[in-house]
């Protein structure tokens, strides 16, 4: 039915759009075909279709937003020789609108090309057009906390089950039709010589000319675990003095999946009676994958005894399938603090502190709740204390370009601090001193990791409260994508020799040219070079 509709549209527009083929509908989301004639055009045209930015349940904003990527991509396209008038951009807040925008663009372009070929007027070849498409996805509130670029595979099954707590049969049918419309429009584009590059997500049943892989749940978990292992020097840790590590995996419960305002409505959270609220289907899959990424790095250390979990939720026998043991319902930032407090078995700062050396909070939204809770419970110091040669003043001077930081190995005793039952009972004074030493060690500020590079957390990274965050290498991805457009429009094959960031991955079971860049891991040590110098954030946003 969708294909028939497309054919009808092509036939109709071919008779009426021969004059409008040389015009452009600038200033609106729905773009014209962009097939205007120009003797100066050498690299063709590009049409970019992205989602509107997702709305998060907090006031914090991650750097990886579509409104940040599109301008970077446009600038990169201009540097590759694309004329401004041959670059069109469009955003949509639903898959239905996006599919219609893409369908209109493709039909108008094909119709204009057909019309020009019959009446003798000049027109750009369809081979000189590339569509860049980031499909609109139905991410739940928790997944949005990681930003807009998280990769997903859009399928009919996903459409049928997404938002299952409130969606009607009509809504499900509409989304299914939108997916079919999008697939048909992109297929028609390729059949008429256009190229298609998919950003972040893919569509079951459609094979793009190239795929730009952005962050996946597994990558997000992996990079935090790797940085934590490196910072705590787990490879050199003695089993007699293991590091205490906790992993927090937030998810959106089904009861609040569709509200988008869980905190305002008082929907189930970690401190409510409904702690057993099940995650959404999408949320469960994401939680499982993000934990699998972290656990693939941490598991050997737990097996060897170099790492332990104070809460007992992670053991040497834990597998990647046990993600639910460290997952918690999160509808507001305070939920992360409640979950951490329970794991540390503490109720206030007056309690004896539980030793905690590292916390993988998964995203900056959760990390902010963790940092606040640690302060409320009386943990002291900062991540900078783990490397004594790196002081907060030294961090600030490094960021402002006044001096370089010198790293040193993490100092730690060979044996873990003695507990109350292990100290000598011959002298109450000795016991008191030992207790004080143990408490000082246990109350040290841990390493806290996150993801998203939220602008609001930059000051706490500078202060050493959160050790690291991570984000996409947006500038490099934009440059790589622009180069791929130029190569495709020129008829040049995409290979690692023509595009250094290119590799191959499976899309719908087939080898597909894939563009990827390593995630940017950011700490106070490299904040200036990674985020300030490239213009991602300002000195003021870093709290300097």
pLDDT, tens only, 252-296: 888 765 444 333 333 334 444 444 478 888 889 999 999 999 999
Instruction: Out of 24-33, 224-233, 311-320, 441-450, pick the least confident.
Output: 24-33
What residues contact 10, with CB distance under 8 A and at least 6 apart? 107, 110, 111, 114
Highest mean pLDDT among 291-305, 339-353, 373-387: 291-305
209 or 274: which leads in pLDDT: 209
What residues contact 296, with CB distance under 8 A and at least 6 apart? 218, 222, 225, 320
What residues contact 322, with CB distance under 8 A and at least 6 apart? none
Taking the CA atoms of residue 155, residue 161, residue 163 and residue 165 in that order, the dihedral angle to the nearest 10 degrees is 180
How far from chain centre, in Å, is Cα 9? 38
Instruction: Out of 19-28, 70-79, 285-294, 328-337, pick the least confident.
Output: 19-28
For 495-510, b/e burial (b = at least 16 CB within 10 A) is eeeebebbeeeebeee
* Sign of the CA dihedral with 461 first, then 463, 464, and 465 last: negative
pLDDT of residue 19: 35
Q: Is 240 exposed, middle or buried (0-12, 13-18, 19+ CB in 10 A)?
A: exposed
CA distance 73 to 145: 23
Q: Closest by alpha carbon to 14, among 104, 108, 102?
A: 108
- Distance separating the N- and C-terminal Cα atoms of the chain: 59
Output DSSP code: residue 235: G
Output DSSP code: residue 326: G
Average pLDDT over residues 444-468: 93
pLDDT of residue 424: 45
371, 404 in Cβ contact below 8 A? no
CA distance 185 to 6: 8
Residue 139: band (very low, low, confident or very high) from pLDDT cuts 50, 70, 90: confident
Res 51 pLDDT > 80: yes
Instruction: Out of 39-48, 286-295, 463-472, 493-502, pick the least confident.
Output: 39-48
Residue 384: band (very low, low, confident or very high) from pLDDT cuts 50, 70, 90: confident
Highest mean pLDDT among 143-152, 154-163, 183-192: 183-192
User: What separation in angstroms does the CA of 149 have from each of 77, 117, 140, 144?
Assistant: 20, 40, 14, 9
Highest mean pLDDT among 12-26, 152-166, 237-251, 254-268: 237-251
Strands annotated E in 220-343: 243-247, 249-251, 307-308, 327-329
pTM: 0.82
Helix axes 95-119, 2-16, angle to 10 degrees: 40
Q: Closest by alpha carbon to 137, among 293, 280, 277?
A: 280
422 or 486: which leads in pLDDT: 486
Res 350 pLDDT > 50: yes
Return mean pLDDT, the chain: 81
pLDDT of residue 118: 59
Instruction: Out of 46-55, 305-314, 416-425, 426-435, pick the least confident.
Output: 416-425
Return left, alpha or beta for 401; rule: phi > 0 is left, psi -120 to 50 is alpha, else beta.
left
Highest mean pLDDT among 12-26, 105-119, 138-152, 492-506: 492-506
What residues contact 102, with CB distance under 8 A and at least 6 apart? 49, 131, 133, 182, 185, 186
Q: Closest by alpha carbon to 523, among 306, 226, 213, 145?
A: 226
Res 310 pLDDT > 50: yes
pLDDT more than 70, % of the chain: 73
């Amino acid at each position: 039915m969708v294909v028939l509709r497309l054919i009808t549209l092509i036939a109709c527009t071919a008779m009426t759009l021969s004059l409008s083929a040389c015009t452009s509908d600038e200033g609106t989301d729905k773009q014209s075909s962009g097939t205007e004639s120009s003797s100066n055009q050498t690299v063709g045209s590009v049409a970019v279709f992205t989602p509107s930015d997702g709305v998060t349940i907090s006031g914090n904003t991650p750097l990886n937003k579509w409104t940040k990527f599109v301008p970077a991509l446009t600038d990169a396209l201009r540097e590759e020789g694309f004329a401004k008038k041959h670059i069109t951009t469009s955003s949509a807040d639903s898959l239905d609108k996006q599919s219609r925008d893409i369908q209109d663009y493709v039909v108008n372009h094909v119709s204009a090309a057909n019309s020009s070929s019959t009446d003798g007027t000049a027109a750009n070849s369809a081979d000189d057009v590339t569509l860049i498409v980031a499909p609109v996805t139905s991410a739940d509130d928790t997944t949005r906390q990681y930003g807009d670029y998280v990769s997903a595979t859009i399928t009919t099954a996903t459409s049928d089950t997404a938002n299952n707590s409130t969606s009607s049969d009509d809504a499900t049918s509409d989304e299914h039709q939108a997916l079919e419309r999008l697939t048909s429009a992109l297929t028609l584009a390729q059949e008429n010589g256009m190229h298609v590059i998919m950003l972040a997500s893919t569509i079951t049943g459609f094979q793009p000319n190239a795929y730009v892989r952005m962050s996946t749940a597994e990558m997000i978990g992996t990079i935090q675990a790797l940085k934590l292992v490196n910072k705590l020097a787990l490879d050199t840790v003695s089993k007699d003095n293991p590091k205490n590590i906790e992993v927090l995996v937030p998810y959106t419960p089904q009861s609040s999946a569709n509200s988008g305002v869980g905190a305002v409505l008082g929907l189930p959270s970690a401190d409510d009676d409904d702690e057993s609220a099940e995650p959404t289907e999408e949320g469960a899959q994401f939680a499982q994958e993000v934990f699998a990424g972290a656990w693939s790095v941490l598991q050997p250390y737990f097996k060897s005894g170099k790492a332990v979990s104070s809460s007992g939720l992670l053991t040497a026998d834990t597998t990647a399938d046990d993600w639910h043991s460290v997952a918690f319902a999160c509808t507001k930032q305070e939920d992360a603090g409640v979950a951490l407090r329970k794991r540390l078995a503490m109720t206030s700062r007056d309690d004896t502190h539980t030793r905690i050396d590292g916390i993988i909070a998964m995203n900056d939204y959760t990390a902010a709740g963790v940092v606040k809770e640690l302060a409320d419970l009386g943990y002291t110091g900062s991540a900078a204390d783990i490397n004594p040669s790196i002081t907060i003043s030294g961090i600030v001077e490094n960021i402002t370009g006044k001096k370089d930081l010198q790293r040193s190995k993490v100092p730690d005793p060979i044996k873990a601090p003695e507990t109350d039952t292990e100290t000598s009972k011959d002298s109450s004074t000795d016991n008191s001193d030992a207790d004080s030493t143990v408490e000082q060690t246990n109350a040290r500020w841990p390493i806290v990791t996150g993801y998203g590079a939220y602008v609001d957390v930059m000051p706490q990274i500078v202060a050493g409260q959160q050790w690291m965050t991570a984000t996409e290498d947006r500038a490099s991805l934009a440059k790589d994508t622009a180069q791929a457009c130029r190569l495709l429009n020129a008829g040049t094959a995409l290979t690692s020799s023509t595009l250094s960031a290119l590799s191959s991955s499976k899309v719908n079971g087939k080898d597909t040219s894939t563009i990827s860049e390593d995630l940017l891991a950011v700490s106070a040590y490299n904040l200036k070079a990674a985020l300030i110098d490239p213009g991602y954030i300002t000195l003021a946003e870093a709290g300097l």
